[in-house]
């Protein structure tokens, strides 16, 4: 790595530390960045710093947003009585793309995984239970259909059942082992329509 001068090496190393970017891609990106106009580089750098500084959790659904309450929770046309539980904001976005869901969300920021040592207290479950003290008619569990997602779904349903609130799980039209964010809208809608009571 001593074939470039200090600043270039530092840039390549920083880029290579990002997920999915190897040393070759990092080199390519670094030289692209050095070729970009100064203002564009500053825009790119500032968009990172800005996002990191100003993005926080929605105080209601815990998705990432740059406001106190996210636009979905704030929207008066969305039913607050239907809460869809997802693992992360990318999964929320995947369902938003279908344009058909009219309830609100709850973002767990993870799934229960004994393998990785992630327990129920490591995800936003307590916050979900607190929300259920308000008037809620249905909780739709849309965690991934991976082992961790299913475990989390079972755990949540057992937790909510005693409260008498209806708990549903999106249908397994979603292929087993699939990651919500990569699935096409039609399949996602199929899964929403075919949800069954737990």
In the complex, the residues that contact a copy of itself under the rule CB under 8 A are: 3-8, 10-11, 14-15, 17-20, 24-25, 27-34, 36, 38, 41-55, 64-67, 70-71, 88-90, 92-93, 96-97, 181-182
- Is the separation of the CB atoms in 8 and 30 below 8 Å? yes
Q: Which is nearer to a copy of itself, 178 or 198 (CB)?
A: 178
What is the DSSP code (8-state) at residue 78? S
Q: How far is the CB of 16 from a copy of itself (least distance, A)?
A: 11
**Angstrom distance (rounded) from CA 20 to CA 146:** 21
Q: Which is nearer to a copy of itself, 50 or 102 (CB)?
A: 50
Q: How far is the CB of 125 from a copy of itself (least distance, A)?
A: 19
Q: Which is nearer to a copy of itself, 68 or 193 (CB)?
A: 68
Q: Which of 164, 176, 175 is nearest to 139 (CA)?
A: 164
**Angstrom distance (rounded) from CA 198 to CA 195:** 9
Q: Which of 39, 121, 131, 122 is nearest to 85 (CA)?
A: 131
Q: How far is the CB of 188 from a copy of itself (least distance, A)?
A: 13
Q: How far is the CB of 7 from a copy of itself (least distance, A)?
A: 4
Q: Which is nearer to a copy of itself, 46 or 172 (CB)?
A: 46
Please report, in angstroms and rounded to a whole number, the separation of the first and last CA atoms in the chain: 56
Q: Which two tokens stand for residue 69?
A: 């309450």
């Amino acid at each position: 790595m001593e074939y470039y001068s200090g600043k270039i090496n530092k840039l390549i190393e920083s880029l290579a530390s990002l997920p999915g970017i190897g040393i070759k891609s990092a080199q390519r990106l670094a030289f692209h960045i050095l070729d970009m106009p100064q203002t564009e580089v500053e825009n790119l750098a500032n968009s990172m710093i800005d996002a990191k500084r100003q993005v926080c959790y929605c105080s209601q659904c815990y998705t990432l947003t740059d406001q106190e309450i996210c636009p979905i929770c704030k929207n008066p046309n969305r039913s607050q009585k239907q809460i869809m539980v997802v693992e992360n904001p990318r999964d929320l976005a995947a369902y938003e793309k279908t344009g058909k869901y009219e309830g609100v969300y709850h973002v767990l920021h993870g799934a229960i995984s004994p393998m990785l040592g992630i327990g129920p207290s490591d995800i936003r479950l307590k916050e979900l239970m607190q929300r259920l003290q308000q008037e809620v008619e249905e909780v739709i569990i849309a965690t991934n259909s991976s082992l961790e997602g299913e475990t989390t779904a079972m755990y949540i349903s057992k937790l909510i059942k005693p409260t008498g609130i209806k708990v549903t799980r999106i249908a397994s039209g979603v292929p087993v082992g699939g990651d919500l964010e990569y699935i096409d809208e039609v399949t996602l809608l199929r899964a929403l329509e075919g949800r069954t009571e737990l």
